[in-house]
């Protein structure tokens, strides 16, 4: 399990394929704030709710200077199905080898119904214009999380 990021840390740069197989890098967003959120699996109820909430608030976030990137261990093809089925506007990125999830502390030990296992820790990292971590939120809930971020950021 990797270390969790803290405010002030340099956000690890990454390049991952999006739902169409195009490469997207964090460094390409320098000069804008970026909300990087990690979720366990496309096409599941909680992750769908969260992705739809980000999509519904994308214009508000963009107008406030934020780009949104959603990262899961799903393959690009599955992300494409997820995007098309739910009409998502958020940029979804594939991290099947979990290198970025690990670098951000968003993959590790979880507990569910008394069983311990390794999995994606639902997390949101807010990166400032210089590429530094502004906020690092771990073990967030899918429902109501986007509204809380908007409130906390004063948007």
Active-site residues: which are they? 47
> Strands 33-38 and 66-72: what pairing?
parallel
Kind and range of the H or E element at 137?
strand 133-138
Within 42-132, strands assigned E span 66-72, 91-94, 107-112, 115-120, 123-127
Q: Residue 95: is it exposed, middle or buried by C-beta count within 10 angstroms (0-12/13-18/19+)?
A: buried
Which residue has 């502390």 as its token pair?
105
């Amino acid at each position: 399990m990797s270390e969790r990021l803290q405010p002030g840390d340099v956000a690890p740069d990454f390049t991952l394929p999006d739902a169409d197989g195009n490469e997207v890098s964090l460094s390409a967003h320098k000069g804008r704030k970026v909300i990087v959120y990690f979720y366990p699996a496309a096409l599941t109820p909680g992750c769908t709710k969260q992705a739809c909430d980000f999509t519904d608030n994308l214009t508000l976030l963009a107008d406030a200077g934020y780009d949104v990137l959603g990262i899961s261990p799903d393959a690009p093809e599955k992300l494409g199905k997820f995007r098309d089925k739910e009409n998502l506007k958020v940029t979804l990125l594939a991290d099947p080898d979990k290198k970025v999830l690990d670098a951000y502390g968003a993959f590790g030990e979880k507990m569910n119904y008394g069983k311990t296992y390794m999995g994606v820790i639902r997390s949101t990292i807010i990166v400032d214009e210089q590429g530094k971590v502004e906020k690092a939120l771990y073990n967030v809930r899918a429902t109501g999380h986007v509204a809380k971020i908007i409130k906390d950021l004063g948007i």
